[in-house]
Structure 1
């Protein structure tokens, strides 16, 4: 009843400062994608409504490096990391994986019990990492908390996604716990859950929001950028960097073999790149007058905004930044272990939003990359392609949240009257 008492004091949903609490779960076993998406949503919710508080639960080891809006905080659970053979282990603790998962689950449930969220947004995994969020979902559902699953525009090819979700009991969890599913993309581009045998009522609760628009951070960072960024340059980013070695190598090789490449390139390694590979790349970059590198930038939007064009692997967040900052982009998608980036790039290229270059290891010819880099500055900007609702994601989320807040006192009053 404590949550109901808090809600009854709420004002209208027309931009007021009514109180509400939002919990975002982002399992973040590796990389930056889940964290950055959750951060964008959290910041949008508190910016739109000053009375909102958001707690992000994350396993990301770098979450403390990012800035969050007033009203946003985070709880970090012990990290886990995926091994080359597909298994997982605890990232830092010297404990077995099952014990680490148990500890994570306990922290998640305690946070949910203590914070008492009105809305929960679960990123990508309906049951969480190894089912760790299910006990908390059961308690939250009993209390009448609104629970939403948020998924990116492309999950994976159906042949892999369907057995994975069956193994995790994801469809059953959707039916049992979730009030809505938000797809952070457009149906016209891709339907990520179309291959799943979803119950009719679950399918009816799917809402396509559009992509999540990104803007420049309110405060500039303290990063010292290379001198080459004072003029036109190409930005190469591989996101977290844990699987971007091949693309970095290919771009460096293009510059090493083609003296005719005029625009310099700035390479962002990312925080998860292998140290030995980074050292090797840095030595090659230092020998080339048209190449520079930085390790990691939590406010990469500033650097991307300066860039003439972008080369990237095409993860969800980088794709949103390319669209938002309106940059000609060459996407070189990863094709294993998932086809997510390839599927996104293929459909984006079909619409004319980006150009795709498939990384076929047998044909990783430096001349082929050099030709693509040379053509990049003259490429169309995304804004020259009209796709209705393309970047409406955060606006749609804010509207749905506002609509729910407007209905919330009436809905709770009915519930109390029934009691």
Structure 2
């Protein structure tokens, strides 16, 4: 590793990693960043990893030693309208983005990372990362775009947003590598995008990110329902989980002969009024129970006989990792990512899914699908090359990037140029 200007050199093992997690509107991206960060910290225990995020709950998750956060003011999107606002500050979204942009740039300037890993948005939210990308590219930092295998929506729906933020231009200009967290056989997210042949050559399909059971305190108390065979019903962050939870409760109410009990996890972002209404119905049913949220939901997944869930990326990885028969109710509003993932996964025999039809959310139709879980094969019955190799491939790529010393860290390179400082794309 090259020597820092004016300071003693870093050791060959001491790698500085800066990560950007587009926090936005749920748990998905933060949990994906947590998984990658923990794998890198395990691979290089002497590393220092800083995560740039606006997530309000990132510190509730378990991180390895060597990982810390720079938490900036958060943003959120109003359901239905798509309008973005500050989560907590009495400032315009333009002012909040300008503040975030400055904090990201200053952190990168001070930390001077060897590797910068960006999740989900190549230019950041509203292009807020462009000045940071310019600075780090000029310094020889290795820059990686780390992305799920499905980019939110069909290309014709998200390309206008990417064009507005200069995302493809950023990918072409600044990024050394793209890690697609999936397998080419199931889905190719860049196949229909207007990217150059050179950029296409930088794409690595890593495989999905295998999940391990977290360390659980000895005195942790699980719901009593988890002592017997049960179905785990999870809505992820819960911000839009009313459909799956309401449909499952209705199925149990309509079919009193359901054999397996069900444990429902609402998620921390579920609307309080919806949660109260669901709890009243759950408390009246002997085969249902619920908890608000569990940061170690993986343990409940490993204990469950089967899983009912939406089809967010992290949930899908957990279903594969813990090898559970699963019934999916994919989100279909505004974004088709989950429906695409569910459709492709069912086509490969990894799970089954159900969506409302012309009759709506028929409780007996859901009850039939729940009963069928007892006969459904587990995902491991399907053989797909490299399906869960994601973290191994990422760590190998990380090691190659670390070994390739591309820096010219003279004192002059430590100064933010006027072009970089003022180069932010207007919000």
Q: Settle same-fold status: TM greater than 0.5.
A: yes
The aligned runs of 1:170-319 (5 Å cut-off) are: 170-220=167-217, 224-319=221-316
CA displacement 1:365-402 (0-9 Å, x = unmatched):
00000001111122111111111100000000000111
Residue 75 in structure 1 maps to residue 86 in structure 2: no
SS at match of 2:275: helix
TM-score (norm 1): 0.94
2-structure distance, mates of 1:36, 1:118: 23
SS at match of 1:92: coil
The aligned runs of 1:45-64 (5 Å cut-off) are: 45-64=40-59
Residue 23 in structure 1 maps to residue 18 in structure 2: yes
Contact 1:3–1:118 (8 Å) recurs in 2 = no
1-structure distance, mates of 2:218, 2:397: 32
2-structure distance, mates of 1:235, 1:219: 18
CA displacement 1:395-418 (0-9 Å, x = unmatched):
00000111222232xx448x99xx
Change (3 A) 1:356 1:5: farther
Root-mean-square deviation over aligned CA pairs: 1.9
Unaligned regions of 5+ residues in structure 1, if any? 12-17
Residue 391 in structure 1 maps to residue 388 in structure 2: yes
Change (3 A) 1:250 1:6: farther
TM-score (norm 2): 0.92
2-structure distance, mates of 1:402, 1:81: 35
Residue 143 in structure 1 maps to residue 131 in structure 2: no
2-structure distance, mates of 1:135, 1:335: 35
C-alpha deviation, 1:32, in angstroms: 0.5
Change (3 A) 1:221 1:165: farther
Contact 2:3–2:10 (8 Å) recurs in 1 = no
C-alpha deviation, 1:360, in angstroms: 3.4
Change (3 A) 1:147 1:250: same
After superposing the two structures, state which structure 1 stretch, 36-45 or 68-77, moved more. 68-77
Please name the residue that 2:127 is paired with: 131
1-structure distance, mates of 2:61, 2:284: 32
Contact 1:234–1:265 (8 Å) recurs in 2 = yes
* Count of aligned pairs: 408
2-structure distance, mates of 1:173, 1:344: 26
The aligned runs of 1:406-417 (5 Å cut-off) are: 406-408=403-405, 411-412=406-407
C-alpha deviation, 1:59, in angstroms: 1.1
Contact 1:182–1:209 (8 Å) recurs in 2 = yes
Change (3 A) 1:25 1:222: farther
2-structure distance, mates of 1:185, 1:157: 17
2-structure distance, mates of 1:376, 1:62: 33
Instruction: Say which structure is richer in helix.
Output: 1
2-structure distance, mates of 1:389, 1:213: 11
Unaligned regions of 5+ residues in structure 2, if any? 414-427
C-alpha deviation, 1:8, in angstroms: 6.1
Change (3 A) 1:138 1:290: same
2-structure distance, mates of 1:142, 1:124: 22
2-structure distance, mates of 1:361, 1:92: 40
C-alpha deviation, 1:222, in angstroms: 6.4
SS at match of 1:386: coil
The aligned runs of 1:112-127 (5 Å cut-off) are: 112-127=108-123
